[in-house]
Structure 1
Amino acid sequence: MGQGMKTVDFFRKIPTDLTEATALGAALSVCAGLFMLVLFLVELWAFMSTTIETGVMLDTNAETLLRINFNITMMELQCDFAAVDVVDILGTNSMNVTKNVEKWQLDENGKRMIFQGRNREQRDIAHDSHHPELEELHKNGIHAIQIAEADFDQFLSENPYVFVNFYAPWCIWCQRLEPTWEALAEELERINQGDNGQEDTEISIDVDVVKVDCVANRNLCAAQKIQAFPTLRFFKDGKQYGIDYKQDRTVSAFIDFLKQKVELEKTMQDWHPRRKQRMLEIKEHPGCMVSGHVLVNRVPGNFHIEARSKLHNLNPTMTNLSHVVNHLSFGTPLSKDLARKVSHYFPQFQENHPLDNGIFINKQFHQAHHHYSKVVSTHFEVGGMMSKTREVVGYQMLSQSQIMQYDIEAVPEAKFSYDLSPMAVIVSSKGRRWYDFVTSVCAIIGGTFTTVGIIDAILHKVLKAGKQL
């Protein structure tokens, strides 16, 4: 049995006595060993590395909705007036989307100051409707004083407390408020004089009620940054005191508001100077950060941010939609683990957000920036040697921006248009199989050994023949 097995021995041995070692053979053996080591290391590196393969095919994504993620800072637009609308070519027209949208009021440094609301629309406010017509109220004199631009600063300096109505004659809400405003002025006079004509200091509300026509005094209203009509603002010692009034527009609500202002001033007399100074510095900055996401149909469309209010008429000449795009992306955000894998395997194919951190300033009124993005689906095949391959869908963007001009009476809008490409990019990471690596190593060893053996035999014969000559 043993002798029979020896007949199939492929690696028969030659006695050492029958072999001859040469200096040439030793040198070629060392070179062969070094050569095999280098090739082995190169092959090992290739085995441990992966190659990126890309392809283009029709997008087979069967989802009907696409998520748009955004975080946009409006520099000169109050959160109360910032409305997000969604429009597409199928006829979808979602006005003032509030679901999954948050608004943060900003200070003058652009820092988040007050959480303005989530999933909330402007609440309805009450209006007085039982007052006589304005002409009848004026029969006993005009009590709500009309102030012109030339007299405005002087009037504020001469009167400690002033409640101002910045209005426009064409504004429907201003027309509705006008009788109430006149009735408020008359009511304050009656409170301050009392029934017997003597001033009652216990309930005295020494506040002057005035109004400013912003059509006739455009420069004044521009200096006050009046964005909507009516804007009701309280002044103390010539400076704005607190934020604009936004509660019910009734005489009783106005009276309660003014009482609180006057009583607060009396209370503040006992405060520490620093606390009093902080209170006086509280005012409303028009900046607003709008963030969140919307779900849209997978068809061309746009979402835009514009100034709108159901309780005001917007001032188109003061609507400034300068903004900063902190972030804009498409698709469901990847988990940290998947984002790390995509970043590791496909560093050159990461999701790109070309509009991120872009600053878009409107240097003139009646204009706004429009952004157009071509969105391409990118399918990443992510996996490892020991894990199952998983497909991750991301989106890449190509964006362009330009300034659009608007008519004088039109309210501008910051528009973000998008169009999805029908083609998708397939990106996969391919690695070598273990048996390919073993085969290559065997080929390196065997091929090098055989080749160097042939070279050794040839050189040995040539050198031997030379010696014989």
Structure 2
Amino acid sequence: MISPSKLKSVDFYRKIPRDLTEASLAGAGLSIIAAFSMMFLFGMAMSNYLSVNTSTSVVVDKSADGELLRIDFNISFPSLSCEFASVDVSDVLGTYRLNITKTVRKFSIDSNLKPTGYEVYSGPIPNLKNHGDEIEEEHGDGAIPLTIDNFETHSLKHAIFVVNFYAPWCCWSNRLKPSWEKAARIIKKRYDPEMDGRILLGKVDCKEQNELCKRHHIQGYPSIRIFRKGTDIMDNHGHHDHVTYYGERDTESLVAAMEALVAPVPRESLMPALEHKSVLPMDITKLPAPLTGGCRIEGYVHVKKVPGTLIISARSGAHSFDASLINVSHVISHFSFGKSLSPSILAAVKKLVPYLGGSHDPLTGRSYIINHHDNANVTIEHYLQIVKTELISRRYSWEPKLLVEYEYTAHSSLAHSLHIPVANFHYVPSPMQVLVTELPKSLSHFITNICAIIGGVFTVAGLLHSILDNTIQFIRKVELGKQN
């Protein structure tokens, strides 16, 4: 067994009796300075240990084959009607998806981007059976020609007022003409406008009555609008409640639809009919007509991670459009790639990578407005270069991949086109990705730094004290020598 006296012999920190030590003001000052130095250096070491260092590298995008890219958007078109607004997607692999509606919603807005209060649904495309195959058996018009002067007069006289807005140059309008005129003659015979007065079929030539068609926000030809009288006149600030007809356009289907409209309307004088709100049966062929000419389109689509285009335009399989009247001016409220990040996650991530998210949505708040009087047939092109950023944190072993973010740059231009103007968002995913990896700090390295700070400051302070003490003694000896 080792005795205490032998154990004391290995003591590295032998104490000097206090009676043999002497305190000085210089030593006290150096001790205070050394203590503050230790505290300051300890704080810097702690801050450096708690800070995050990352390494950034550019590697080949390792996305799995078949992985889809999500595009979120919220875009307002003050001059494009929701009735025909279509969201399409195409890519270099031959994918072409038309009129996506499952994940896209459309809301009617006015020219000042203010919502009118309801969601707009796209109408079905008619099969157009027997459409245009009929031959007029009788000469003369069955439908009443309408102008901006007599439109309101006729609409106030009849409980049901059905109007065909057409263009003489439109092939679909010309194919509808014989069926529409024949149906109008049949309805006129069954429901005499003078004796009955419950229903009237009219027509508007939008080439001649351009202002009238603009008033009713007609952008596609032919557009069949059904105007009804009832208590909704007062509820809707004096305007008629009206819907758009999307059913078949042969004579038989048109007559059947008109009969269904007249059925709930009582066959009394016009005054009782005005007090009665006629009710249309729930039918997908009749949807609310737009009260304004603008549309806000919001939602998302999934696309393949290859170069492609998101297209927003006026589209219909049974209507024609005047390219010179289509204006795709728009204001972008949001346009981004990838999954949306919650504010808390984004704030936490920015502590690791401060620059991340700075260019996440560069199109937000951007406006692309075309003066329609000076620039007709203008397509707006957006070219987007997408780069994937993957952040990997070693701190969380259970979730090594903390975030996948998509940054993009955007360049836009206007282009004149002979076709229907569209808004194109061309996106090109980069084959390379940015890999940001967190470099964790070693606890042992931090403790070593703390020990080095304490020992180093203590040693340096001791050396300074020794030099100061020897200097003072030397000066005293010199002074004593001079006195002697």
Q: Identify whether the pair has TM-score above 0.5, normalized to the shorter chain.
A: yes
* In 1, Cα distance between equivalents of 2:471 and 2:438: 51
Report what 2:82 is aligned to: 79
Report what 2:119 is aligned to: 115
CA separation of 1:159 and 1:61: change in aligned 2, threshold 3 A: closer
The answer to whether residue 333 in structure 2 is matched with residue 326 in structure 1 is yes
* In 2, Cα distance between equivalents of 1:399 and 1:314: 30
Alignment of 1:416-427 (within 5 A): 416-427=425-436
**Ranges in structure 1 where 5+ consecutive residues have no aligned partner:** 272-280
Question: In 2, are the aligned partners of 1:77 and 1:307 still within 8 Å (CA)?
Answer: yes
* In 2, Cα distance between equivalents of 1:130 and 1:258: 26
Report what 1:278 is aligned to: none
Kindly, what percent of the aligned residue pairs are identical?
A: 33
The answer to whether residue 316 in structure 2 is matched with residue 309 in structure 1 is yes
Alignment of 1:7-406 (within 5 A): 7-64=9-66, 65-106=68-109, 110-111=114-115, 113-117=117-121, 122-124=124-126, 133-134=135-136, 136-138=137-139, 141-147=140-146, 151-154=147-150, 156-157=152-153, 160=156, 161=158, 162-193=161-192, 204-218=196-210, 220-234=212-226, 241-248=240-247, 249=249, 250-257=254-261, 266=272, 269=275, 284-334=291-341, 338-350=345-357, 352-364=360-372, 365-382=376-393, 384=395, 389-406=400-417
* Residues 298-319 of structure 1, C-alpha deviations (whole Å, 9 max, x = no match): 2211111111112222232322
- Matched residue type, 1:4: K
User: Which is further off, 430-439 or 19-28?
Assistant: 430-439
C-alpha RMSD of the superposition: 3.3
Question: In 2, are the aligned partners of 1:233 and 1:240 still within 8 Å (CA)?
Answer: no
Length-normalised TM-score, structure 1: 0.83
User: Which is further off, 349-358 or 383-392?
Assistant: 383-392
The answer to whether residue 454 in structure 2 is matched with residue 454 in structure 1 is no
Question: In 2, are the aligned partners of 1:205 and 1:259 still within 8 Å (CA)?
Answer: no
Question: In 2, are the aligned partners of 1:231 and 1:244 still within 8 Å (CA)?
Answer: no
CA separation of 1:212 and 1:58: change in aligned 2, threshold 3 A: same
- Matched residue type, 1:226: I
CA separation of 1:331 and 1:193: change in aligned 2, threshold 3 A: closer
- Matched residue type, 2:188: E
CA separation of 1:32 and 1:131: change in aligned 2, threshold 3 A: closer
CA separation of 1:240 and 1:370: change in aligned 2, threshold 3 A: farther
Tell me how far 1:346 sits from its aligned partner.
2.8
3-state SS in 2 of match to 1:452 = helix
Tell me how far 1:159 sits from its aligned partner.
6.2
* In 1, Cα distance between equivalents of 2:33 and 2:20: 24
Question: In 1, are the aligned partners of 2:198 and 2:265 still within 8 Å (CA)?
Answer: no
2:450 corresponds to which of 425, 441, 446: 441
Query: Aligned residue pairs: how many?
Result: 443
**Ranges in structure 2 where 5+ consecutive residues have no aligned partner:** 278-287, 479-484
Tell me how far 1:258 sits from its aligned partner.
5.2
The answer to whether residue 415 in structure 2 is matched with residue 411 in structure 1 is no
* In 2, Cα distance between equivalents of 1:244 and 1:388: 54
* In 1, Cα distance between equivalents of 2:276 and 2:341: 55
CA separation of 1:186 and 1:389: change in aligned 2, threshold 3 A: closer
Tell me how far 1:380 sits from its aligned partner.
1.3
Tell me how far 1:430 sits from its aligned partner.
3.7
Tell me how far 1:436 sits from its aligned partner.
2.0
CA separation of 1:265 and 1:445: change in aligned 2, threshold 3 A: farther
